[in-house]
A and B are shown apart, each in its own frame.
Chain A
Amino acid sequence: MSGHSTYQPKTGIERWLDARLPIVRLTHDSAVSYPVPRNLNYLWTFGGILVFMLVAQIITGIVLTMHYTPNAAMAFNSVEHIMRDVNYGWLLRYLHANGASMFFIAVYIHMFRGLYYGSYKAPREVLWILGVVIFLLMMATAFMGYVLPWGQMSFWGATVITNLFSAIPVVGETIVTFLWGGYSVDNPTLNRFFALHYLLPFMIFGVVVLHIWALHHVGQNNPTGVEVKDYAKDTVPFTPYATVKDVFGMVCFMILFAYFVFYQPNYLGHADNYIPANPAATPAHIVPEWYFLPFYAILRAIPDKLGGVIAMGSAIVVLAFLPWLDTSKVKSMTYRPIARQFFWAFVIVCIGLGYLGAMPAEGGYVIASQIFTVLYFGYFVALAVIGIFERPAPLPTSIADSVLSGSGARIAAATAAEPQSKG
């Protein structure tokens, strides 16, 4: 990113502190003078939105912890105590429960934005992999959080998902016993899930710091995928330009968040989770939260248990290898006529898998899940192949050129239309 710090300590105290702990300089360099490509669109506000969601989840979560009891006999009633008797407890709990969904809505948009604009490509591979790590931690946190109310879906979701580990050869059963803290999902399971649900968000926070550090080191990608060449022409300072835009995006996102919290607080949940956990009665359909549904569909598409677990795990892990799977040098799909179509097909495949994950695993749904699972992984194979022969549209010479000439008009002479593969 930029070269030297532009921070100028003005007062004596600032100079004194700057010589000992340059924390004001760090803040200034990363949140004020940090150069931001001037052509970012609103999809780039989702990073800030995600930071807001993480902080909101941690704050509401800590307050909920003060009223919640992690005990199999008392957990369900303590959540109802929060809903009924704690001042604004209903608000805290609905913010936290819907906040998890909003967090995933934002992270999926953030990820698809990265996929479309090639934000995973050099020099942003580590930044991208850190993002995959955050996503995995988020999934673990959300899963364990859903167990805490100790309703029917909490209990049976925990049973189904922890049982997946038993598919691992040799050590599987031992791992499951270790996860449960016994021989079935019970009080020890709830206790350890509660402890981990409190711990993991702070681990996410730590990886987010690394994610932002990596981002500020390499600089942001932008809709053209053309790297910043001239800071004066191609970028604007983070404050006020990106700050005001991010806050506007954040407030718009809060409107969506508030709409669900205040008007549809249970829309994204399951009615069954208002029934206390009962190990003797299995719900008709055990369905995970909506944000897990695409992966759940992949899991169930494979008839073999171990195969399903491997497929589901691979569906996430494959993302980490994307920087090397995609062979095209051109980052932005805007200039990739063939890959772009595959991208939109991939979006539809993901939504389709989500739908299939919510349907019962029988008949045609299984066949459809299998087709969509192949298509899901097919996207990554396609990116490896397309980059070799695709002829990208000419790229703008610089970010400034793309802005000043409008996104439609390209500098025709800038780039010859040649295949832009690495090989």
Chain B
Amino acid sequence: MSKMSLRLSVAAMAAGLSIAAFTGPASAAGDRINPPRETWSFSGPFGKFDRAQLQRGFKVAKEVCASCHAMSMVRFRNLSQPGGPEFTASQVQALAATYQIKDGPNEQGEMFERPGRPADAFPSPFPNEMAARAANGGAYPPDLSMLAKARTYERGFPWFVFDIFTQYQEQGPDYVKALLTGYTEPPAGTTLLPGQNYNTYMPGHLLAMPNPLNDGQVEYPKGPDGTAQVPETAAQYAKDVTAFMVWAAEPHLEARKRLGLQVMLFLMIFAGLLYYTKKKVWSRMPGQGAAH
């Protein structure tokens, strides 16, 4: 680009940005408050799940969330697979057997219930959406299997550009964790209808789910001295169950990042070799000897 065209481009860009800046506030985020940024063990190129955290998160999901929320895409066997909570196979077998799974029809043509097997998916708390709505004041508790990937918040310019380089892609878990701990009294002037709750981070602030997590609600594994190894607080529950939901939504995250490193290293070395091969080939030009 010549100096002159550069100047014109800069002018055009400035014009474009000033229009965007002028128009920006017109609709910027509405009344939505962005969730605070958390640190997650699974973020970044070398990220891995914290097994103990996933196991705790599973306990929270099982004891608290599962009474209303389905998790239909996760199978018991997934809990013992590498890259997840990594419960032992016998633990998973025992866990699955505590659930009753509807199966059939049998040879008499009848449906029957049997104890769960590792290959079964988590049974849903309600037989269908209408039943779930009927039991929850008209609201449908979403399936947790994908929720950590199905929620996000708007990053806006220029942050969405920086995110490519910083690999910040935990908008979903940040939002979910913030929502789980974001219940407050409604501000003056906001009246809640029966069955509505006020949450700082929910778009529009009103949601049907009441505050699900309270301090001391779930018992965590105890250390040798009899005290819990991590605090039994609502904030810790929220973080652990969110990490579990990320795994549930992306069970191959660790394998993906591990393979990614191998692929990137291979491609970079390959590209380096090709670069020098190219230079060597192009140093011998046909016709008039060496050019560049």
Contacts and interface: CB of A to CB of B under 8 A. Distances in A.
Interface of A: 38, 77, 80, 83-84, 90-91, 94, 232-233, 236-237, 240-241, 244-245, 247-248, 251-252, 254-255, 258-259, 261-267, 271-272, 274-275, 284, 337, 340-341, 343-345, 347-349, 352, 355-356, 359-360, 362-365, 367-368, 371-372, 400, 403-404
Nearest to A231: B287
Interface of B: 1-2, 4-6, 8-9, 12-13, 16, 19-20, 22-24, 26-27, 45, 73, 78, 142, 145-146, 149-152, 157, 163-164, 167, 169, 171-172, 203, 249, 251-252, 255-257, 259-261, 263-264, 267-268, 270-271, 274-275, 277-278, 281-282, 285-288, 291-292
Contacts of A344: 1, 5-6, 8-9, 12
B263 A262 contact: yes
A241 B282 contact: yes
B26 A364 contact: yes
Nearest to A258: B263
Contacts, number: 154
B256 A365 contact: no
B16 A255 contact: no
B149 A271 contact: yes
A101 to B, nearest CB: 12
B95 to A, nearest CB: 19
A25 to B, nearest CB: 21
A209 to B, nearest CB: 27
Contact of A275 (B26, B150, B259): B150
Interface centre among A90, A251, A266, A367 (most CB of B within 10 A): A251
Nearest to A351: B16
B26 A241 contact: no
Contact of A368 (B19, B157, B261, B271): B19
A255 B271 contact: yes
Contacts of A371: 19
Given A248-B274, A271-B150, A404-B291, A262 B267 contact: no
B291 A38 contact: yes
B271 A345 contact: no
Given A264-B164, A364-B24, 9 more contacts: A84-B73, A84-B252, A241-B281, A244-B278, A245-B278, A264-B167, A275-B150, A348-B9, A363-B26
A285 B255 CA distance: 33
Main secondary structure of the interface of B (DSSP, over half): helix
B288 A400 contact: yes
Closest 6 CB pairs of A and B: A262-B260, A364-B23, A363-B26, A274-B150, A271-B152, A341-B5
A27 B281 CA distance: 21
B16 A352 contact: yes
Contacts of B286: 232, 236-237
Nearest to A152: B150
A267 B169 contact: yes
B23 A367 contact: yes
A248 B288 CA distance: 25
Given A262-B259, A267-B169, A340-B5, A255 B26 contact: no
B228 to A, nearest CB: 32
B54 to A, nearest CB: 16
A359 to B, nearest CB: 7
A368 B23 contact: yes
A420 to B, nearest CB: 18
B149 to A, nearest CB: 5
Nearest to B19: A368
Contacts of A240: 281
Contacts of A364: 19, 22-24, 26
Contacts of A400: 287-288
A127 to B, nearest CB: 26
A261 B264 CA distance: 11
Contacts of B261: 262
A248 B280 CA distance: 13
Contacts of A265: 256
Contacts of A259: 264
Contacts of A349: 12, 16
Contacts of A245: 278, 282
B164 A365 contact: no
A272 B150 CA distance: 5
Given A262-B257, A362-B27, A404-B288, A248 B271 contact: yes
Nearest to A260: B164
Given A247-B274, A255-B264, A258-B267, A267 B12 contact: no
B133 to A, nearest CB: 12
B260 A345 contact: no
A83 B285 CA distance: 49
Nearest to A360: B27
Nearest to B280: A244
B5 to A, nearest CB: 4
Contacts of B274: 244, 247-248, 251
A400 B73 CA distance: 63
16 contacts: A80-B146, A84-B73, A90-B256, A91-B256, A241-B282, A245-B282, A255-B268, A262-B259, A263-B167, A344-B5, A345-B8, A345-B9, A356-B20, A364-B23, A365-B27, A368-B19
A263 B45 contact: yes
Contacts of A247: 274
B4 A337 contact: yes
B285 A38 contact: yes
A271 B252 contact: no
A38 B282 CA distance: 10
